[in-house]
């Protein structure tokens, strides 16, 4: 998803597209966006992790998967955003060529892993919600003990799928010094297709499954019959809890699609339709979609606090204890 980030940010598209004032304004805008996403993501996802850790009633399968997403999102403000800011202003002058090459590959690898872990967790959340709503009285499909296994599996699978970034790219040095991460793909059928198509294909299949599961959940909620008078209050309370969790889960999925969909689609079109040649206008739009994708790591904790009363209560309790 992110392999063309630095080729766009660092201006490998034609520099004469924009005047110096436009380039300066673009740099200021990128800096503001990076700093905003860094602060919101770092603070928000850290608070999510602390709230789940300190609140026993929050230790459910769905919240564990949200915690896993928060951890993957924290990779961006801790590692990626600082490197983008440093690259824009100073360059990685303190790296030698080999060190710089390793650094760039690791940064790209982290960005792929973070996004893929998020997709996998969205699928797991949908599966857990499906079981809880459609088969509420059966044994949990994903127990608390199994959560750790599934969480580890998401990282192993994402790392395996992202591993070609380690071998497929090489960095470019200028004037004998390593300054930034401009990617030159090693030409091959695998290299030209896999890393560009894989995120789109994975996202398409994952969200097709998610849409099916949430559609079945909504159908189940609407078709439920009213029970006897003795149990009606208990059932209504359970349905209300399920609906609240469902709204939050759907909002997280929607946010991910809105943030990541445009950049993933443009990456695919750029590779297979436009033959890696972006016009000035397309390059500007591409940059916007990349920062939309970055915004997702700051959006997720905001969604949790906006849609979940338990997260808001946890936040109040946490702030009250300070």
CA atoms lying within 13 Å on the CB side of residue 248: 24
Cα distances from 318 to residues 54, 148, 167, in angstroms, run: 9, 25, 44
How many C-beta atoms lie closer than 10 Å to residue 110's C-beta?
20
- CA 82 – CA 44 distance, rounded (Å): 17
Structural domain includes residue 321: no
| Closest to 308 in 3D by CA, of 241, 254, 237, 258 | 241
The H or E element containing residue 3 is none
Q: Report pLDDT for 302.
A: 94
Q: Report pLDDT for 9.
A: 37
Structural domain includes residue 109: yes
Structural domain includes residue 261: yes
Do residues 61 and 89 lie in contact, with contact meaning Cβ atoms separated by under 8 Å?
Answer: no
CATH code at 285?
A: 1.20.1070.10
**Burial classification of residue 190, based on how many CB atoms lie within 10 Å of its CB (0-12 exposed, 13-18 middle, 19 or more buried):** exposed
Q: Report pLDDT for 299.
A: 94
Q: Report pLDDT for 21.
A: 61
Domain of 243, in residue numbers: 5-224+231-316
- CA 117 – CA 215 distance, rounded (Å): 23
Q: Report pLDDT for 322.
A: 57
Non-local (6+) Cβ contacts of 195 within 8 A are 3, 112, 164, 165, 168
Q: Report pLDDT for 277.
A: 61
The answer to whether the predicted template modeling score (pTM) of the entire model surpasses 0.75 is: yes
Structural domain includes residue 322: no
- CA 261 – CA 266 distance, rounded (Å): 9
CA-angle at 140, arms to 138 and 142, nearest 5°: 155
Structural domain includes residue 172: yes
SS3 state at 172? coil
Structural domain includes residue 57: yes
Give the pairing type, strands 184-185 and 169-170: antiparallel
Question: Look-up: residue for tokens 């930034």?
Answer: 180
188 — alpha (psi -120 to 50), left (phi > 0) or beta?
A: beta
Structural domain includes residue 107: yes
Per-residue H/E/C for 77-89: HHHHHHHHHHHHH
- CA 309 – CA 229 distance, rounded (Å): 28
Question: Look-up: residue for tokens 């599966």?
Answer: 127
Alpha helices in the chain (DSSP H): 5-9, 20-54, 61-75, 81-89, 97-134, 144-162, 164-168, 189-223, 229-272, 280-307, 309-320
Structural domain includes residue 309: yes
Alpha carbon of residue 237 to chain centroid: 32
Domain count, the chain: 1
Average pLDDT for runs of 10 along the chain of length 322: 39 49 77 93 95 89 93 92 81 64 81 91 90 76 81 94 75 51 55 71 88 87 61 64 79 90 80 64 78 92 91 88 64
């Amino acid at each position: 998803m992110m392999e063309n980030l630095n080729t766009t940010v660092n201006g490998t598209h034609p520099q004469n597209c924009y005047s110096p004032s436009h380039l300066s304004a673009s740099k200021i805008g990128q800096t503001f966006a990076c700093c905003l996403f860094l602060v919101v993501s770092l603070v928000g996802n850290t608070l999510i992790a602390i709230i789940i850790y300190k609140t026993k009633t929050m230790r459910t399968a769905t919240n564990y998967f949200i915690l896993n997403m928060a951890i993957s999102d924290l990779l961006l403000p801790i590692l990626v955003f600082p490197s983008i800011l440093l690259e824009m202003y100073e360059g990685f002058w303190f790296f030698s060529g080999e060190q710089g090459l390793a650094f760039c590959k690791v940064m790209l690898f982290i960005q792929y892993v973070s996004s893929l872990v998020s997709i996998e967790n969205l699928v797991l959340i949908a599966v857990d919600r499906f079981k809880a709503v459609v088969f509420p009285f059966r044994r949990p499909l994903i127990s608390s003990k199994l959560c750790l296994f599934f969480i580890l599996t998401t990282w192993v699978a994402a790392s395996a799928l992202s591993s070609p970034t380690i071998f497929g790219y090489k960095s470019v040095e200028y004037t004998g010094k390593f300054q930034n991460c401009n990617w030159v793909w090693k030409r091959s059928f695998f290299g030209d297709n896999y890393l560009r198509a894989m995120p789109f294909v994975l996202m398409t299949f994952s969200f097709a499954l998610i849409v099916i599961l949430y559609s079945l959940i909504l159908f189940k909620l609407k078709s439920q019959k009213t029970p006897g008078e003795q149990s009606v209050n208990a059932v209504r309370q359970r349905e209300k809890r399920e609906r609240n969790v469902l709204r939050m889960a759907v909002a997280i999925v929607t946010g991910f699609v809105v943030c990541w969909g445009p950049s993933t689609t443009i990456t695919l079109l750029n590779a297979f339709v436009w033959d890696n040649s972006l016009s000035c206008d397309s390059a500007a739009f591409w940059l916007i979609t990349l920062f939309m994708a970055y915004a997702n790591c700051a959006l997720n904790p905001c969604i949790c606090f906006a849609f979940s009363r338990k997260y808001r209560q946890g936040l109040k309790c946490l702030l009250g204890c300070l």
